[in-house]
Amino acid sequence: MKKLAVLVASAALLTFTPAATSAVRADPAQRLRFGVAKNWAGYAAHGGPFTSASTSWREPSIACTGARSGVASFAGIDGDGTPTVEQVGTVDLCRSGGAVARHAFYEMFPKGAVFIKKTVRANDAMSASVVANSSSSFTLTLVDTTQNWTFTTNQQASNAQLGSAEAITEAPTARGSGIVPLANFGTINYSGTTANGQPLGNLGPEAITMVGNGGVIKAAPGGISGGSFSVTWHHA
């Protein structure tokens, strides 16, 4: 994916009404070097063209590491070294007092992210998929098996290169404030992760570790086997 930009007021994240276009958007991933990024942890396959990406996970029960901390999980096409991103997933945002706002969202960058009017709770079984019908037409689907809902939308994109397919845990970015502290999500286990219908691990994907200031590891993926891997929190 890319970095989520979250509108901030005063010292706390705003609680957004899940409707229309939200204040969350994605910008190019903040790469430091191969295998290392400031805001991503997970796996990404490169080359393509990629016409589908999918993954499943349990929504984490997070511990807030600050009033403005957060974490996102998603499946996406593009967004890693390409100018667009087509993605769908969830984002958990901490507010003052330790309250957590959980949102489902999709995004067709450079358009803003859109919050989905569906309930998401900790430990929900989530599945996300992005399908490129062409380089300009995409179908994005998010399923919450626990809450028994499915969301599907057809969206248009311009200049999609279909250059990467990924399953990512991300530290959101606050508009005007940079990357927010990464909420402690423990470990997220991804399964059924595919690109072009094949297990992502069969495509020689890049393992991406999230690193903060001074080279501190914030989150890191474990080894990938077929379509299964984990991402573990280390530092805010």
Residue 65 has pLDDT above 50, yes or no: yes
11 or 101, higher pLDDT: 101
pLDDT at 109: 84
SS3 annotation, the chain: CCEEEECEECCEECCCCCCCECCCEEECCCEEECCEECCEEEEEEECCCCCEEEEEEECCCCECCCCCCEEEEEEEEECCCCCCEEEEEEEEEECHHHCEEEEEEEEEECCCCEEECCCCCCCCEEEEEEEECCCCEEEEEEEECCCCEEEEEEEECCCCCCCEEEEEEECCEECCCEECCECECCEEEEEEEEECCEEHHHHCCEEEEEECHHHCEEEEECCCECCEEEEEECCC
When mean pLDDT is compared across 12-26, 57-71, 107-121, the lowest value belongs to 12-26
When mean pLDDT is compared across 28-32, 125-129, 211-215, the lowest value belongs to 28-32
Residue 41 has pLDDT above 90, yes or no: yes
Average pLDDT over residues 123-146: 98
127 or 173, higher pLDDT: 127
117 or 172, higher pLDDT: 117
Q: pLDDT tens digits for 189-202?
A: 999 999 999 999 99
Residue 82 has pLDDT above 60, yes or no: yes
The structural domains of the chain, ordered by start, are: 3-233 (2.60.120.700)
pLDDT at 174: 77
pLDDT at 192: 99
Q: What is the pTM of this model?
A: 0.90
What confidence category does residue 83 fall into, taking pLDDT thresholds of 50, 70 and 90?
A: confident
Average pLDDT over residues 54-75: 95
Q: Which residue has the tokens 């890693």?
A: 80
pLDDT at 23: 53
